[in-house]
Amino acid sequence: MPRRPGVRRALGPLSLTGLAALGWALTEARLYTLRRHTVPVLPAGARTLRVLHVSDLHLTPHQRDKIAWVRALDRLDPDFVVTTGDNMAHREALPAVLEAYGPLLDRPGAFVLGSNDYFAPRPKNPARYLLPDARTAMPPEPPRLPSDEIADAFRRAGWKDLTNRRDAVVVGGTEISLVGVDDPHLDRDRFPNVPATAGRTAADARPRGTPARGLHLGVAHAPYVRVLDAMRDDGCDLVLAGHTHGGQLCLPLAGALVTNCDLDRARASGLHGWPGGRPGTPGGAGSVWLHVSAGLGTSPYTPVRFACRPEASLLSLTPRS
């Protein structure tokens, strides 16, 4: 049956709108943005620490603009670097990832891995991301990525491996005790027990005159509720995570449609409190600061973002009021 003239007239503007939205989404995926947040989590008298949070590069070897942008983050002079995984989006991406981090590897840092450090991406039905948790539609296991090699490279640079592990470091005179888990999205998380010698590494390295208690930092790739609860119960002051891509496809004013995990959509990216309150609002007693990065990349098979620019974040950690 031929279409009515009125239908044809309506489809024309709709098609143009759809093409324009797609064009913008392809462009926005390359508009790398630096976010800045101030988080009052340090002991009284501690100097401000600059923590650079990088996540979800999903890097392929040809993405020279992203490589250059990440390398340039070193100019921010961060005191500590944390990457929350999903660095690779290609089986040959490891050299590009190490080139991107480049000068940042000379700074103190810590890392966990994500699913896209273990397994290569492959074409999927984009509609699966509209499910509350896309694991319910995951296909059979895809090809492996060089996860051991990237972890070895980070460790050789001196970065702390928080794959179901604890560690500690002193940065700028402040003790930072660290706890992390392997990727919860793959159910690889095993929250580490508290060892009998917990805290001794930081205490032994503590310069004279610095406070006995510093910062307890939790790190995970995917911000699943069970992990956030465990880190809050562990006494973390701040938790860093990625994975959500900030929703990747968002609606203006409404925000993220999904988080690809069981975290609520309101906390798909940015600085929040867990389980409530923060920042600067009442009702947050007993909550931990939570920063979820919207990340810098996408799957190479869905290279779009809408109302959700790719990002890295510089967190200025200041003394508690």
pLDDT, tens only, 91-109: 999 999 999 999 999 999 9
Quote the CA–CA distance of 72 and 82 in Å, as a whole number. Answer: 16
254 compared with 228, residue with greater pLDDT: 228
* Residue 280 belongs to domain with CATH number: 3.60.21
In a domain, 249, yes or no: yes
CA distance 148 to 163: 12
The answer as to whether 149 is a domain residue is yes
Residue numbers of the domain that contains 42: 31-319
Predicted pLDDT of residue 128: 59
For the stretch 260-299, pLDDT in tens is 999 999 999 999 999 987 666 555 668 999 999 999 999 9
Q: Degrees (nearest 5) of the Cα angle 81, 146, 60?
A: 70
Burial of 134 (0-12, 13-18, 19+ CB in 10 A): middle
Residue 16 lies in a domain: no
In a domain, 22, yes or no: no
Environment class of 49 (CB within 10 Å of its CB; exposed 0-12, middle 13-18, buried 19+): buried
Q: Is 19 domain-assigned?
A: no
Report how many domains make up the chain.
1
Let me know: does 73 contact 54? Beta carbons within 8 Å: yes
pLDDT at 17: 55
The answer as to whether 248 is a domain residue is: yes
Mean pLDDT over each residue of the chain, to the nearest integer: 87
Asked whether residue 12 is assigned to any structural domain, the reply reads: no
Burial of 164 (0-12, 13-18, 19+ CB in 10 A): middle
